[in-house]
Amino acid sequence: MRSNTHRRRSMPIRHRVTGVDLVGACRAFVSVSEHGSFTVGADAARMSQSVASRRVAALEERFGEQLFERTSRRAVLTSFGRDLLPTARQLVQAADVLLHEAESAKRKPWRLAMPAVCPTAGLARLVAEARAHAVTLEVRVATPAQRQETVHARQPVRSHGEASGAPAGRVHAALLAVPPGEATWSVPLGLAGAQDPGVRRLYVETLRPGRTTTGPAARIWIQPEDDVPHIRDPLTRLRDAVGLRPAQLTTTNDLAHAAAEVLCTPDLLLCSPAQAEEFGLDWRPIGEITLRRGYALATADGRAQHIEARLGEALARCLGARSGTGTTGDATAGGTGT
């Protein structure tokens, strides 16, 4: 009685040439046929003669017919080989086209909608780090509402620095503004202005009219990036609870104008420590409440985790956040406090 091992060895191998191996075998077959020599054909196909011989032999074993009549000097196609050559050549050409298209696709820019509060230097470093991960990144800045609409509806968003009349492009992903509890990255917010160096936390209550000695009541400026419910609403409730006037909480679409007001008046800017440092302002956390910007990556094709794995740390640095925890540390520019 024959053993199972013997029966397995005697069975014909039917699928030795599959997938990419089939393309490589056909490449060897076509090149040898065009040059009439295994030596010259293998060299033209950039493979060794032994590899070319094995690949052609694998094809012949798979088809059950010889492709070449081998002589000491030349490799001559058999009638069967001549019949298969046109199709094999088409397969090799199609594979070359596919490889070319794959390389072209990798070089296409991957458009990402980012918050406008990210500094230009930070965006430049993000783009440079993306290249190290073989990602050609194209940054587009937008407001929270625009980023939300763009990534889901695939609406055009203008790139950083584009004029208003310039054509807008579509994005593949966006950093969405989300509550800190849902965030992949978060950034602390506080109030920045020309403040007493001894103040460790700034209480909004101290801005109540009547508490200031002279001049108009100081305002808190909210920039577009923070005009979202999970930031604006708690601050509005705090304003009403401590007795500030409605006009003391002001939303602006012009960050430069708001920063200029803060530099020239007792007004305060709601911002991150990095932004305060950029404008030369003293930053303090808010005494009554804790506010943070939260961000999560959303992609139009559902590849958020793939992109986070490659660019997560770079995105965190650009935002001034720490990735992977949903929170940043308590380190701040201009001091800390309890």
**Segment 193-207, tens digit of pLDDT:** 986 667 789 999 999
49-53 contact pairs (CB < 8 A, 24+): 52/28
Q: Evaluate if residue 300 carries a pLDDT over 80.
A: no
**Segment 257-292, tens digit of pLDDT:** 999 999 999 999 999 999 999 999 999 999 999 999
Q: Evaluate if residue 188 carries a pLDDT over 80.
A: yes
Exposure on the CB side of residue 88, measured as CA atoms within 13 A: 24
Q: Which amino acid is at 104?
A: S
**Segment 104-132, tens digit of pLDDT:** 776 678 889 999 999 899 999 999 998 88
| Predicted local confidence at residue 307, as pLDDT | 81
Burial 300-337 (b: 16+ CB within 10 A, else e): beeeeeebbeebbebbbbbbbbbbeebbbeeebbbbee
Class of domain 185-209+217-294: alpha beta
Would 22-105 and 185-209+217-294 be classified into the same CATH topology?
no
Q: Evaluate if residue 26 carries a pLDDT over 50.
A: yes
What are the extents of the domains in the chain? 22-105, 110-157+169-181+297-319, 185-209+217-294
| Predicted local confidence at residue 209, as pLDDT | 85
Positive or negative CA dihedral for 34, 39, 42, 44?
negative
Tokens of 57: 């032999």
DSSP secondary structure of 211-251? TSSSSSPP-EEE-GGG-SHHHHHHHHHHHHHHT--GGGEEE
CATH number of 22-105: 1.10.10.10
Mean pLDDT rounded to a whole number for the chain: 82
| Predicted local confidence at residue 204, as pLDDT | 95
Q: Evaluate if residue 152 carries a pLDDT over 90.
A: no
**Segment 44-101, tens digit of pLDDT:** 999 999 999 999 999 999 899 999 998 767 899 999 999 999 999 999 999 999 988 8
Dihedral of the alpha carbons of 314, 318, 283, 185, in degrees to the nearest 10: -60
**Segment 10-20, tens digit of pLDDT:** 334 444 445 44
Cβ–Cβ < 8 Å for 325, 213: no
